[in-house]
Amino acid sequence: MINDKNQYILAIETSCDETAVAIIKNGREMVTNQVASQVESHKRFGGVVPEIASRHHIEQITITLEEALMDAQLSMDDIDAVAVTEGPGLVGALLIGVNAAKAIAFAHQKPLIGIHHIAGHIYANRLIEEFQFPLLSLVVSGGHTELILMREHGNFEIIGETRDDAAGEAYDKVAKTLGLPYPGGPHIDRLAHEGEANIDFPRAWLEPDSFDFSFSGLKTAVLNTLHNGKQKGITYAQQDIAASFQDSVLDVLVSKTVKAARKHNVKQLLVAGGVAANKGLRNRLQNEFTNTDVQLVIPPLSLCTDNAAMIGAAASVAFEQGHYAGWELNANPSLSLEKYAKRSK
């Protein structure tokens, strides 16, 4: 056992297809960050199969927990609290993490903390840079596309969100149509840099003052273009479809983000979620925010996709604020961020 006054949080994330365990020291330092990915098992189905995800989590969770403690050279005596993603996500997958966290916390008599998955994605940024409020976070993942305003720790106000598909979901669906492997986002990103944005796909701006997004029309437009082209004997280069699609997504994402950052006079723009790995998005945001009063923070790729370090970073603040969960903590597949934020007040 380490005899120091540092705070150590053991964090677990199993909401989708990664079994992840991390230990975070004093909210901002990653002592260990273990991720057992199942992506290879889901690839042949073209998406995550919930039943398979749950089975993998069961197989991996104990091993990943042991690996994390071993890698950190810590024992459970050193841990101050056990944190876990309670939602949103796949219910069967979440249940494995929640029950593992409850069991280990109960056995070692440690406080238990339930964390919202998106709060976690946002707090991944605090492992890179201390937060300065007010801040804006662009959350872009396979299940989420949201602009979230934070005025203080634990406070999340959704000022814009997708009305249909998430950005990552649109990437994955377009990729599938192009015959690219799952997950398709990185493939589209790569091809987009090799092609030309010479096809005019729609941009869903919605109402003038709205920070909401919509990507399902764009996805349909790509499908229709390919379908109509086939009937007319026109073949489009995959690279050009990818470049044109990406241009349309990024035009809307970046311009609404810039507008929202200005409107709310934020000090920082944090980017979160799997799509934050997108090179085009990173470049455009860098162009927009370099030499402005807004500090742009984008985590490294390993902290953009699902991981448990982000859950530990969010839990550190919850721990300091005394927001513990009871033993009745359950997986909540549709937990809303605003409901979670209210609870944390």
For Zn ion, the binding residues (CB under 5 A) are 141, 306
CB of 337 to Zn ion, least distance (A): 13
The number of residues that bind ligand KG4 (CB under 6 A) is 19
CB of 189 to ligand KG4, least distance (A): 4
Q: Sign of dihedral through CA atoms 186, 187, 190, 196?
A: negative
Q: Do 84 and 11 meet the contact criterion of CB atoms below 8 Å apart?
A: yes
Comparison of 119 and 192: residue with beta carbon closer to Zn ion: 119
Which one of Zn ion, ligand KG4, none interacts with residue 189, CB within 5 to 8 A by kind?
ligand KG4
Quick one: CA torsion of 111, 117, 122, 126, rounded to 10 degrees? 30
d(CA 119, CA 158): 12
Which one of ligand KG4, Zn ion, none interacts with residue 21, CB within 5 to 8 A by kind?
none
d(CA 167, CA 160): 13
Query: Which listed range, 66-74, 96-104, 124-132, 177-185, lies at the site for ligand KG4 (CB under 6 A)?
Result: 177-185
Position 192 contacts ligand KG4 (CB under 6 A): no
Q: Is the peptide bond before 88 cis (omega within 30 degrees of 0)?
A: yes
Out of 9, 254, 275, 311, the residue judged to bind ligand KG4 by CB under 6 A: 275
CB of 333 to Zn ion, least distance (A): 14
Type of residue numbered 151: R
Position 154 contacts ligand KG4 (CB under 6 A): no
Out of 88, 120, 160, 168, the residue judged to bind ligand KG4 by CB under 6 A: 168
Position 299 contacts ligand KG4 (CB under 6 A): no
Position 142 contacts ligand KG4 (CB under 6 A): yes
Q: Do 266 and 294 meet the contact criterion of CB atoms below 8 Å apart?
A: yes
Q: Do 242 and 188 meet the contact criterion of CB atoms below 8 Å apart?
A: yes
CB of 345 to ligand KG4, least distance (A): 25
Q: Do 97 and 60 meet the contact criterion of CB atoms below 8 Å apart?
A: no
Out of 305, 316, 332, 344, the residue judged to bind ligand KG4 by CB under 6 A: 305
Structure tokens at 150: 């934070």
Structure tokens at 287: 């162009």
Which one of Zn ion, ligand KG4, none interacts with residue 305, CB within 5 to 8 A by kind?
ligand KG4
H-assigned helices in 193-291? 216-232, 238-263, 279-289
d(CA 176, CA 170): 10
Q: Do 202 and 248 meet the contact criterion of CB atoms below 8 Å apart?
A: yes
Structure tokens at 225: 């273009």
Query: Which listed range, 23-31, 135-143, 251-259, 333-341, lies at the site for ligand KG4 (CB under 6 A)?
Result: 135-143
Query: Which listed range, 42-50, 57-65, 198-206, 271-279, lies at the site for ligand KG4 (CB under 6 A)?
Result: 271-279
Binding site for ligand KG4 (CB under 6 A): 16, 141-143, 168, 171-172, 183-186, 189, 273-275, 277-278, 305-306
